[in-house]
Amino acid sequence: MSVPNPPEPIPGARLLFSLDPAVSHLNHGSFGAVPIGVQRAQQRLRDEMEANPLRFFTQGLVDRIAHTRRHLAGFLGADPDGSALVGNTTTGVAVVLQSMDLKAGDEVLSTDHGYGAVSLAIQRECRRTGAVSRVLPIPLAATDEQIVQSIRAGLRPGRTRLLVVDQLTSATAKLFPTAAIVGVAREHGVPVLVDAAHAPGMLSTPVAGIGADFWVGNLHKWAYAPRGTALLAVAPQWRERIEPLVVSWEQESGFPARLEWQATLDYTPWLAAPAGLFTMRSLGVDRVRAHNAALAAYGQRVVGDALGVAPAELPDPGGPGVALRLIPLPAGTGTTIDAARALQARIGERLAAEVAVMSWNGRGWLRLTGQVYNAADEYERLGARLPALLAQR
């Protein structure tokens, strides 16, 4: 089966970024890339802060943060009054976990598609409280119905105090049927925390219609915000129970101010985040999403074909707007976290291509992304050179 044609480039999009042109940046999902205009907006805010720090922090900053939160929450389909800005998704997860008041005998249920740092956070909170962490295996090829049924069977009403699921998984680039999962959990009285690190900017209004008790996603991955910008959305019944990891002067103001105000934190990433949404809207939000997803699919097919992977063996993320794609690596390659990291570094150094290499369920996977600054020939060059690199054991 022939490889489909790549999407047409979005004119001028590459020039919006300051990325090194000598490197193929095919791993937007890990740390994102901040457009030049957003970098400049943040620098103007830094200049303002340094020109008069006392005025910046004491005159109107809380209101500016709230205004920014309302703008970002609206883009995501979240309730602005039920949301709080946090540094990143793992920070939001930690906030929720320590606000759950877990006790010995309680259980936190997650899946084997979960992000590594989130799994570590769950394990730490369980050690601290005496609760138990249980991980539910979900096959990569599982359908939405099979995922929902597996989670339904895995819940233990009365014992499962929290279910943690991904909206779009980092390790496996799989779109989970989040709304249906939340519905099943609600039937059993189990609250749900949705790890949506990759959803903002990639999925349309990813908070709306899900009904999760907690939802947290990064805007610095796919929504062009400066790094350190994420939104935690909390259902009404939980808001007064949410406590910050560090108490500061807005503690008595309640949620969300008690969570957002962290003394001398650098708030310029949050305040500059709307400039990222402006950039995306200028290019056309739907256009960007469609382009990125189509380009990632093209790259998956090109590199997969170069590695001898049949199209039927290439994982399908299950969503037309998903700009993350996986390619299985040859057997025995990148099967551990250390081996995957070493291979990722070798590809970066020798092929001048930044990719993600994932180890999941004892197999190595190459994860590629598509972004407006990428071009078809970057994936073609990777496909042409990668087999020889992998042959060098």
User: pLDDT, tens digit, for every residue of 308-330?
Assistant: 999 999 998 877 789 999 999 99
Read off φ and ψ for residue 262, nearest 5 degrees: -130, 55
- List, by residue range, all CATH 3.40.640.10 domains of the chain: 60-279
Percentage of residues in the chain with pLDDT exceeding 90? Answer: 96
H or E stretch at 161: strand 160-166
Sites in the chain below the pLDDT cut of 50: none
pLDDT on residue 263: 86
Q: Class of the 60-279 domain?
A: alpha beta
3-class SS string, 294-358: HHHHHHHHHHHHHCCCCHHHCCCCCCCCCCEEEEECCCCCCCCHHHHHHHHHHHHHHHCEECEEE
The residues near 159 (Cβ < 8 Å, ≥ 6 apart) are 105, 106, 107
pLDDT on residue 393: 67
Q: What is the pTM of this model?
A: 0.96
CB of 323 within 8 A of CB of 290?
Answer: no
State the DSSP string of 17-60: ----TTSEE--HHHH----HHHHHHHHHHHHHHHH-HHHHHHSS
pLDDT tens track for 147-200 = 999 999 999 999 999 999 999 999 999 999 999 999 999 999 999 999 999 999
Gap between the Cα atoms of 196 and 218, Å rounded: 7
- Residue 222 is encoded by which pair of tokens? 């796919």
CATH match for 13-34+285-391 among 3.90.1150.10, 1.20.1090.10, 3.40.50.1360, 1.20.1250.20: 3.90.1150.10
Lookup result for tokens 């939001």: 92
Omega of the bond leading into 315 within 30 degrees of 0 (cis): no
